[in-house]
Amino acid sequence: MRSQVRLGLIYVTGDGVPRNDSEAVKWFRKAADQDNAAGERYLAEMYFKGRGVPADNAEAVKWLRFAAEQDDAESEHNLAVMYVQGLGIPRNIKEAVKWMRRSAEQGLAAGELGLGALYENGDGVPQDPVEAVKWYRKAAEQNNTDAMNNLALLLATSSNASLRNPQEAIALATKAVAAANNPDYLNTLAAAYFAAGQTEKAIETEKKALALSPGNESYLEALQNYLAASGNR
């Protein structure tokens, strides 16, 4: 079964053979039909993306569920996302939480990030910034840059004094920006600088975010706030 999955991946990537999504689907299906979780997950992905088969979210959910029920952490996460977004299945945030938690508890960074976001937003669970920080931190420790960004923003802006830590927020956001020059990460770094009383650095960093995403209204509003605080409106 593993060799069938490997062969499917070879056809997906075109590694040494012409890329052929239909052949990839054939081999993933052979593995999936033998209850191989990786085969089921890859087959679900092909249905989700419409590669080698017509796009079909319901089929993707079906195969993800088979894999998730075998404790495949990536499939648990992906199934949770399908529940959150109502793709191929009615939106069900309680089911999303269940599967995201199972993924997170296996140490999958994407699952930890997702569970943290659910706690931060109070989506399907009571809103709990302490739990959000816990799960974001676990994912950030695996170098997940989105988790670093989310954790930094919480630490910079939380109304909970026990969580608020602008200096750690600066360190985390700086690390995220170094890994990916993402305007959202720069926006978070600017917020962290501002929370730490470094208004000029906040202005400079927010301008960098705007350079990457001109006209972004939330970035413009943040910049105006920082300029006003500095007396340079």
Stretches where the chain sits below pLDDT 70 are: 232-233
Structural domain containing residue 36: 1-68
In the chain, the number of structural domains is 2
Cα separation of 23 and 49, whole Å?
15
pLDDT tens sequence across 143-179: 999 999 999 999 999 999 999 999 999 999 999 999 9
User: Which of 232, 142, 226 is closest to 191 using CA atoms?
Assistant: 226
CATH assignment of the domain containing 58? 1.25.40.10
Cα separation of 149 and 40, whole Å?
32
Q: What is the pLDDT of residue 233?
A: 58
Averaged pLDDT of the chain: 96
Does 14 map to a domain? Answer: yes
65 three-class SS: helix
The alpha carbon of residue 17 and the mean position of all alpha carbons in its chain are separated, in whole angstroms, by 32
Cα separation of 62 and 45, whole Å?
11
Cα separation of 34 and 216, whole Å?
49
